Chains A and B, each alone.
Chain A
Amino acid sequence: MMMDYVWLIPLFPLVGFLINGFCGQRLPKTIVGIIGSGVIGLSFLVTVKIFLEFLSLPAGTKAVEKVVFTWITSGTFQAQAAFLIDPLSLVMLGVVTGVSFLIHIYSVGYMHDEPGFYRYFSYLNLFVFAMLLLVSANNFLLMFVGWEGVGLCSYLLIGFWYEKKSASDAAKKAFVVNRIGDFGFLLGIFLIFWTFGTVNLREVFALAAKYPVGSGVITAITLLLFVGAIGKSAQIPLYTWLPDAMEGPTPVSALIHAATMVTAGVYMVARCSALYSLAPLSLTVVAAVGALTAIFAATIGMCQFDIKRVLAYSTVSQLGYMFLACGVGAYISGIFHLMTHAFFKALLFLGSGSVIHGLHGEQDMRKMGHLKKYMPITYWTFLLATLAIAGIFPFAGFFSKDEILFHSLVDGKFIYWLIATTAAFITAFYMFRAVFMTFLGESRVDPQVHPHESPPVMTVPLMILAVLSVVGGLVGFPIIEGAHVFREFLSPAITPVAHAGGHQAVSFEVFMMIFSMAVAAIGIYTAYKFYILKPDLPTAIANRFPVIYDYIYNKYFVDELYDATIVEPIKAGSDFLWHGVDDKVVDGAVNGSAGVITWLSAHLRKLETGFVQNYALAILVGVVLITGYLIGR
């Protein structure tokens, strides 16, 4: 059984990291690229084999745990290096290895002229290793290792061009903001161990089932874990790092900041459905944060001109959808959207990368236009992905997004649905705005620049992802009984909320679909009107409502707000702690005690006379004291 060798899945990328990291500098780029992509391909093959084996397991097998070795033992605490194979982890493994593989291949072309080529691939492999650990760990501690690992790699890759100040700043920002989330996550793990005495996922879930719904400790745990998810998955209020993360190479944005790492939070919430379903309050928080983020980020996306920033805000917004789904108890819909989003958003980013590549580094959409003529493959694949994210039938995003809208109304509240639907409208608008500004209309390209289509090593991954963006949603075909293969497959891994909404009439469901399609269509038409029919209109509107426009264009001044209310006070506080407390009190105490010890040291060493007689005397004194104590006690 390949399943016994599940550890091979993360091992391959680790080996790739070691080879490229230590020897990559001396290897030709071709070899580095082959190793870097090949190891991910191998992981993907192993995942597929294990997936097939899992399907052939006897019915009723919910999960398989494979222990590789015991990692840490201390008292009652035990953590194993072990893998949990269940539908959820298999879906995540499949998405991560599959999408990573395509992006690695694409990178071979995209990063071809980069001097740090080997460094890039070693980081990317290390990232995949950490991500695979994260999604397949059988305990929270190992999951945390992956969680921190992906954060580290994200830092390294955002700052890949570290000689550029904006890149190294963005990397630091991402790292620091993520630390806030990680701190919450860590506290959550501590509380889990304190409450249940174990960090093993399945043991925790089994023990949690004995707690009543709404129990305080479970609510605390889930809220703390969610703080981690907010940081990692860029939700309000910790989303600010993700748009800046676009400073990294575009394939990195596609892999880490769209398809995989940022979805870790969603995965974690779904993985802990057994806990979240017991904490209605936490679910409300999850849903509210998700819904707010979805619309908030979408509005910002409307007014950005940097093509990657548009996609970044779009990612934040789509992640909000996923959390909204989880928050109303539709975990499977959240994971479903995670998967389809991985396909089309990776495609969008890679497409934008292809555009940037073709324009020699230009990212401003105001200097694009009419690129359809020069890069047809990029255009068509980008268009398919845009249709998918806008939610047009029968593209992948339609199925998953429609499901989330449906559940937010049926299992959630009307307000969730209203927000989500409005956000869907805006999504359709700004995504088509991007298509129109980039590929259609008048060319505004700098005459010095000669756009060209990218090489096949880049366009072939685009085409494969395009196919996935088109058909990827069919595994979750609604309405027909049993056609939602994805739900059937995943449900053993998910603990539903106790009182989920009842069964709804089919006609209602169909009506909802048509409605959401109509919303998307209106959004597309509005974009068409604004950017193709009357290109002056956006400027006119911006001039008409300067204050609102200014706010949105400047991303609601959130970064500035954080700077003024958090960063600056912390700086002032640390300044005081440094000069006031550290220099005087702490250093004083430290230097004082160091002085005492140095003095002691200088005097005690004099005992060491060098005379054997004295040494023997010391021994004798010891004998007398010990004997005296024993006999005289």
Chain B
Amino acid sequence: MTLTIPSFTLSSIGPWLTLTGTAILILLVDALSPKGRKAYFPQLSLLGLGIALLQTFRLWNHTGTDFARMVYVDNFAFFFYAVFILGTALTVLISRHYLEDYGKNLGEYYALLLFATLGMMLLAAGAHLIMIFLGLEVMSIAVYVLAGLFREDAKSNEAALKYLVLGAFSSAFLLFGIAMLYGATGGSLYLDDMAARLAQAGALTQPLTLLALALFIVGFGFKVASVPFHMWTPDVYEGAPTSITAFMAVGVKAAAFAAFARVLFLAFPALKVDWVMILWVLAVATMTLGNVVAIAQTNIKRMLAYSSIAHAGYLLVALVAANQLGAVSLLYYLLAYTLMNLGAFGVVILVGRKKDSYLSIYDYSGLGFQHPALAAAMALFMFALAGIPPTAGFVGKFYIFSAAVQAGYIWLAIIGVMNSLVSVFYYLRITVLMYMKPPEAELGPVAFTPALTTVLLVTAVGVLLIGIFPGFLYNLAVNSVKIFPSL
């Protein structure tokens, strides 16, 4: 037997290598520096992320696969790399001050963030189902740990445990689905071959294939927090450290959607009628449940958790459309959501102050009079999440719903718009509290650190900029989804 080592170019996974290297470096520095010494973990992380972003730019417009067809080297992946890097960088920026309050500004926190980001990249670029599964686990395990970072805090513990148990449960379904597919295709896990192999010999109608599809929907549905696989979300989002909640809401969701879209569009184009039908139902249920239950929430993190479920529903609409505009809107919306959601969480951290003391939505009463800039930023993010122009949230929803209309799902679009209407209630309630109610208590000074100010500025400007001038991003997204021949 001869072993041939396939040829490969390291630069096509450059961002992975950089993030891995940075994470290991952080761990080493942490281990080698004397206790109590101030270490520059956030700065190091940002440096690594910056380099990874540069590498991503350098890779832009490369096409094809590498590492023996295990890894996609294409713009779809690179677009997501950029979204992940942006999301992680903003998370790093909102973390530092927050963690210092808890005395948890630890090296492993940042290392785990970077490892999770690496997992997301694997998910977005995986060309082989094993790669996708690996990515999912690399990402998830890091996030399980991060969710339980506050070991002394019961809620944080509960969050981590619930997420771990249910996460393992759903991963098992996904893995089982992969196994089914291996059988159905007659022994291949390459996404590129999948459609052709399934088309042969009537494999499409075999229960094996259908079961695989069902299990994929369950596995990814769990990670994106779609109904009925969403139930962990409010508990975990509430219990996890706020910075990690933000990270999960944007990064994990985006990564799961990237892989979900790839699998559906590349492996199952022939079963489109079926998965569209299922996702239609899931989208409606997810949007409606998320928005309706969000109304009853008084804890801001829980409210944002349900808001995040609702947004998963909107994003599922983009998948249901299953046309080019749908895919484009998915990409656009995920970036827009990263900006507006992280911005909102940045405000939550600032208002929550010492150890999350102020997490009730009523703590926002009168914020507009005491901290006008902070309240203005929060109002902007709420408007964006509700989808009101001229913010990115509006354009994103506009793209998603027009994609649905274009694909002929008029009712889905109508339900989506009605849902947006419902969501306006709880988003604007925050605005109303901030500007039209007297302060409940003296909020006192808010610690505007340079890092948090940067986050608010970047996200606020970004939300407006890509909301008023969506053209550039739209073109990037169109460029990125060209890899799907079935759209």
User: A615–B162 contact, CB under 8 A?
Assistant: yes
Q: Which of A74, A594, A622, A631 has the most CB of B within 10 A?
A: A622
Among listed A49-57, A224-232, A363-371, A595-603, interface-contacting one: A595-603
Among listed B123-131, B288-296, B333-341, interface-contacting one: B288-296
Distance of B223 from chain A, by nearest CB (Å): 12
Cβ-defined contact, B469 with A618, below 8 A: no
Closest to A615 in B: B231
Contacts A74-B399, A75-B402 hold; do A623 and B232 have CB atoms under 8 A apart?
no
Contacts of A615 in B (CB 8 A): 162, 166, 231-232
Q: Does B211 contact A (CB under 8 A)?
A: yes
Provided the pairs A69-B469, A75-B406, A630-B213 are in contact, do residues A622 and B229 lie with their beta carbons within 8 angstroms?
A: yes
Contacts of A209 in B (CB 8 A): none
Q: A590 CB to closest chain B CB, in angstroms? A: 10
**Is B249 in the interface zone, CB < 8 Å from A?**
no
Say whether A604 faces chain B, with CB atoms less than 8 Å apart. yes
With contacts A71-B471, A626-B217 taken as known, whether A614 is within 8 angstroms of B296 at the C-beta atoms is: no
Q: Which of B166, B293, B474 meets A612, CB within 8 Å? A: B166
With A69-B472, A74-B398 known to touch, is A623 a contact of B173 (CB < 8 Å)? yes
Tell whether, in the assembled complex, residue B169 and residue A70 are in contact, meaning their CB atoms are under 8 Å apart.
no
Our pick among B170, B173, B234, B471 for the contact of A69 (Cβ within 8 Å) is B471
Q: How far is the CA of A327 from the CA of B292 in the complex (A)?
A: 58
Cβ of A610 < 8 Å from any Cβ of B?
yes
Q: How far is the CA of A121 from the CA of B425 in the complex (A)?
A: 39
Whether B218 and A626, one on each chain, are in contact in the complex, defined by CB atoms closer than 8 angstroms, is yes
- Are A619's CB and B402's CB within 8 A? no
> B278: nearest residue on chain A (CB-CB)?
A626
Q: A73-B471, A623-B214, A623-B215 are in contact. Are A608 and B231 (CB under 8 A)?
A: yes
Residues of chain A lying within 8 A (CB to CB) of residue B278 = 626, 629-630
Given contacts A608-B234, A615-B231, A622-B218, contact A627 B211 (CB under 8 A): yes
Q: Looking at chain B's contact residues, is the secondary structure mostly helix, strand, loop, or mixed?
A: helix
Q: Does A633 belong to the interface (CB within 8 Å)?
A: yes
Asked if residues A75 and B218 are in contact (CB atoms below 8 Å), the reply is no
Name the distance in Å between A398's Cβ and chain B's nearest Cβ: 46
CB distance from B432 to the nearest CB of A (A): 14
Interface contact A618-B210, CB-CB below 8 Å = no
The reply to whether B170 and A598 contact each other, CB–CB distance below 8 Å, is no
Name the one of A74, A600, A604, A618 contacting B228, with C-beta atoms under 8 angstroms.
Answer: A618
Cβ proximity bits B212-232 to A, threshold 8 Å, 1 near / 0 not: 011101100110000011011
Contact A597 B228 (CB under 8 A): no
**Cβ–Cβ < 8 Å partners of A621 in chain B:** 228
* Interface of A: prevailing SS: helix
Indicate whether A566 reaches chain B with its CB closer than 8 angstroms: no
Q: Which of B266-303 contact A (CB under 8 A)?
A: 274, 277-278, 289, 292-297
CA–CA, A610 and B471, complex, Å:
44
> Measured between alpha carbons, how far is A162 from B456 in the docked complex, in Å?
33
Q: How far is the CA of A633 from the CA of B162 in the complex (A)?
A: 34
State how many angstroms separate the Cβ of A417 from the closest Cβ of chain B. Answer: 49
Inter-subunit contact A601/B471 (CB<8 Å) = no
- Check: A605 CB closer than 8 A to any chain B CB: yes
Kindly state the separation between the CA atoms of A621 and B469 in the bound complex, as whole angstroms.
Answer: 44
Question: When chains A and B are docked, how far (Å) is the Cα of A17 from the Cα of B406?
Answer: 41
B-contacting residues, A55-85, CB 8 Å: 69-75, 80-81
Q: A75-B402, A629-B278 are in contact. Are A619 and B471 (CB under 8 A)?
A: no
Contact B469 A71 (CB under 8 A): yes
The answer to the question of A616 belonging to the interface, with a C-beta cut-off of 8 Å to chain B, is: yes
Q: Which residues of A contact B443 (CB under 8 A)?
A: none
| Interface bits B157-168 vs A (CB < 8 Å: 1, else 0) | 000011001100
Q: Which residues from chain A contact B14 at a C-beta distance below 8 Å?
A: none
Kindly state the separation between the CA atoms of A619 and B162 in the bound complex, as whole angstroms.
13
Kindly identify which residue among B166, B234, B296, B475 contacts A616, using a CB–CB cutoff of 8 Å: B166
A597 partner residues in chain B, CB cutoff 8 A: 292, 295, 422, 425
Are B471 and A618 touching (Cβ within 8 A)? no
Q: Which residues of B contact A73 (CB under 8 A)?
A: 470-471, 474-475
A602 and B166 contacting across the interface, CB-CB below 8 Å: no
Bound together, the chains give a CA A361 to CA B162 distance in angstroms of 75
Contacts of A71 on B, CB cut-off 8 Å? 469-471
Bound Cα distance from A605 to B231, whole angstroms: 10
Complex Cα–Cα for A408 and B222 (A): 75
CB distance from B421 to the nearest CB of A (A): 10
A294 to B269, CA, bound (A): 67
Q: Give the chain A neighbours of B235 by CB distance below 8 A.
A: 608, 610
Contacts of B469 in A (CB 8 A): 69, 71, 81
Query: What 1/0 flags go to B167-186 for Cβ under 8 Å of A?
Result: 00110010000000000000
A607 at the B interface (CB under 8 A): yes
Q: Flag if B295 contacts A601 (CB, 8 Å).
A: yes
Give the distance in Å from the alpha carbon of A598 to the alpha carbon of B166 in the complex.
29
Contact B471 A70 (CB under 8 A): yes
Contacts of B296 in A (CB 8 A): 598, 601-602, 604-605
Known contacts A75-B402, A630-B214, A619 near B292 by CB under 8 Å: no
Q: Contacts A612-B166, A619-B218 given: A601-B293 contact, CB under 8 Å?
A: yes
In the bound complex, residues from chain A placing their C-beta under 8 Å from that of B471 are 69-73, 80-81
Within 8 A of A (CB), among B291-324: 292-297
| 15 pairs, A vs B, C-beta closer than 8 Å | A69-B472, A71-B471, A73-B474, A75-B406, A81-B469, A81-B471, A597-B292, A597-B422, A598-B295, A605-B293, A608-B235, A623-B215, A626-B214, A627-B210, A631-B207
Given A69-B472, A594-B425, 9 other A-B residues pairs in contact with their CB atoms under 8 A: A74-B402, A597-B292, A605-B296, A607-B231, A608-B231, A612-B166, A614-B231, A619-B229, A626-B278
Q: Which residues of B contact A (CB under 8 A)?
A: 161-162, 165-166, 169-170, 173, 207, 210-211, 213-215, 217-218, 221-222, 228-229, 231-232, 234-235, 274, 277-278, 289, 292-297, 325, 398-399, 402, 406, 422, 425, 469-472, 474-475
The 4 A-B residue pairs whose C-beta atoms are closest, nearest first, are A70-B471, A615-B231, A601-B296, A630-B210
